[in-house]
Amino acid sequence: MKDRDNFYKKLKNQLDDTTSFPSDYLYKFIVSTEGNKVALVKDIFKDKGATITTKKSKSEKYNSISVVIHIENSNQVISYYKQAEKIEGIISL
């Protein structure tokens, strides 16, 4: 868990250094096509004004999900990542 805390602390510093908030932010995730994982990702951003696109891999085993959403600050960026990491097997890019 300490590694996650360090990761998010570093990410927050990078975001604060490189991004002028508020701004649009692009999230990219990869999830298995099995189960309802795409729906779970969509639920995180539901009613938030996000633009979500999905694409199946050639093997049709995975979906890539791109989410563009207007973000107010680096803490909000991290909050969405923390919600997404609860989805089993998700990969955040």
H runs (alpha helix) in the chain: 2-18, 37-44, 74-84
pLDDT tens digits, 48-89: 999 999 999 999 999 999 999 999 999 999 999 999 999 999
The pLDDT tens digits for 21-32 are 999 999 999 999
Write down the architecture of domain 2-92 according to CATH.
Answer: 2-Layer Sandwich (3.30)
* Full-model pTM: 0.92
pLDDT of 4: 87
- Structure token pair of residue 77: 């960026």
Distance CA 46, CA 69 (A): 11
Q: Distance between CA 7 and CA 56 in Å, rounded? A: 28
Q: Give the Cβ contact number of residue 92 at 10 Å.
A: 12
For 13-56, how does the pLDDT look when each residue is reduced to its tens digit (9 = 90+)? Answer: 999 999 999 999 999 999 999 999 999 999 999 999 999 999 99
